[in-house]
Amino acid sequence: MKIQVDEITSVIKQEIAQYSEQLDAAEVGKVISVGDGVTQIHGLGNAMAGEMIEYENGAIGQVMNLEENTVGAVVLGDYLEIKEGDTAKSTGKLLSVPVGESLIGRVVDPLGRPLDGKGAISGGQTWPLEFKAPGIAERQPVTEPLQTGIKAIDSMIPIGRGQRELIIGDRKTGKTAIALDTIINQKDSGVICVYVAIGQKESTVASVVEALREQGAMDYTIVVSAASSDSAPLQYIAPYSGCAMAEYLMYTQGKATLCIYDDLSKQAQAYRQLSLLLRRPPGREAYPGDVFYLHSRLLERSCKLAERYAIVPAGQGYKEGGVNGKTYVGVPGKHEAQSEVGDGQEVATDPTSGGSLTALPVIETLEGEVSAYIPTNVISITDGQIYLEPDLFFAGIRPAINVGISVSRVGGNAQIKAMKKIAGSLRLDLAAYRELEAFAQLGTELDAATQQQLDRGARMVELLKQGQFKPYDVIDQVISIFAGAKGYLDDLPIDKVEDFEEKMLAYFRDEIPEVRNELATQKALTDELVPKMENGIKTFKDRYTN
């Protein structure tokens, strides 16, 4: 019998390969205490802060405290099955979440596991939960509007792509309603939305998802839910998880994205709980000293990327390309200027083309206390705030925006020219109205000019009222506010303002579309266009009143 040497060699090689695949070298420690989602582990001497670890029962955790003899780690998920004496092994990886277009339209938990019963999520790409925010040179100024569809916001507190605008107010004042209307208004705009629900009831999240589905908004939305019944570690990582999902689409596909964190006060409470259990020293209101950094490192990741930067995560190079006839190399895992390269090198086309991540964080106040610890922290990080007031809400002025202390620090840069031109007078009209309203309640005789200001202000307030799930196209907003600011509603009964506006917009759409189309094309109130609009409004008003 002739021995086949090649055959024996290949069999031996296969056996060795099989054996080597089964070897799994890892640093293993022992759980010495567990409780409330926090574990102390002995034996992980080389563990890094933020590293992902695996427990004996398959649960995963994240290292948060590095102490002399032990490490403190939080359990992401069910900690009740972890017992003292269980093993925990380090993975050498940072905590990452699944990302990609396969998540769009899905409801997931902060670890990217599906919650909507639609099966597993395909794709396989991951992105680190914590990612360094772009520097000054990698950003460009915020100039492109992100239309919310809400007249009061788009006219007086405009939001631009790449901005961070805080929505703040007491509970039940319509904060989530503004966020949902903004998502619904992104239909056909190419903006991918991520709604992060932190510490909310599961029934509330279900109703939000259903509302988005009915409006067709789930086609471009990812919902990340860390419910009130979930553990504090999951509520703590939820905003970073949602941000990572949006960031991936911004960096690798150049998409415009919108992240809504609803709400960050609950995340801060979850982080306070973890910090106290990890025996970190408490500070003001028992929050840990780094609670400002908790939110600043999240919100600073929002930006409008400069078009000349292609940012490639570690291990994900772009092989083909050329921008403006040149080829650029991306430095994996870093934000750095691109340099021209020769043939044969791994290259990155500029995949961003100025992608953006806009953040709308939500903060809940207690009894209107905006000077509390967490609200002041987040106000100082963001580029403006939309303040919702309970008194306005209960008076039927919805959205209940207090235009006096609401502000956008980007201002008119994030508005089309037509809106910028008419919105200046709107804010002044409302400010004058608020001052005179209190004076008029004294019942004193008013002169004609004062009465006119009061009449106009009352109608502008009525004009800015808007029902939920009824976002307005920006061109319709301009026409409405133009009619109000020019005084065409001053002599209308207040209860007819809404009906007048609705029918006037239908008249512009159906009977004089050429004027509306000219405004939509130019996006500016030119000297030729203003008389056409005034004639259109006058003609309609004569028909409406007669």
Contact 63, 47 (CB under 8 A): yes
> Structure tokens of 464?
């800015």
Active-site residue, selected from the candidate residues 280, 409, 459, 516: 409
- The H-or-E segment that residue 29 falls in is strand 28-35
Paired with 31 in beta bridges are: 41
Number of Cβ atoms within 10 Å of the Cβ of 77? 22
Place of tokens 């801060």: 268
Sequence-separated (6 or more) residues with CB below 8 Å from residue 498: 462, 465
DSSP letter at 182 equals: H
- The H-or-E segment that residue 248 falls in is helix 232-253
Q: Residue by residue, what is the 3-state secondary structure of 342-378?
A: CCCCCCCCCCCCCCEEEEEEEEECCCCCCCCHHHHHH
Sign of the dihedral through C-alpha 447, 453, 456, 457: negative
409 classed as catalytic: yes
Number of Cβ atoms within 10 Å of the Cβ of 371? 9
> Structure tokens of 370?
């905006």
Contact 57, 83 (CB under 8 A): no
Number of Cβ atoms within 10 Å of the Cβ of 31? 23
Place of tokens 């990327």: 305
| Among 92, 97, 99, residue whose Cα is nearest residue 76 | 97
CA atoms of 243 and 133, how far apart (whole Å): 11
Residues annotated as part of the active site: 409
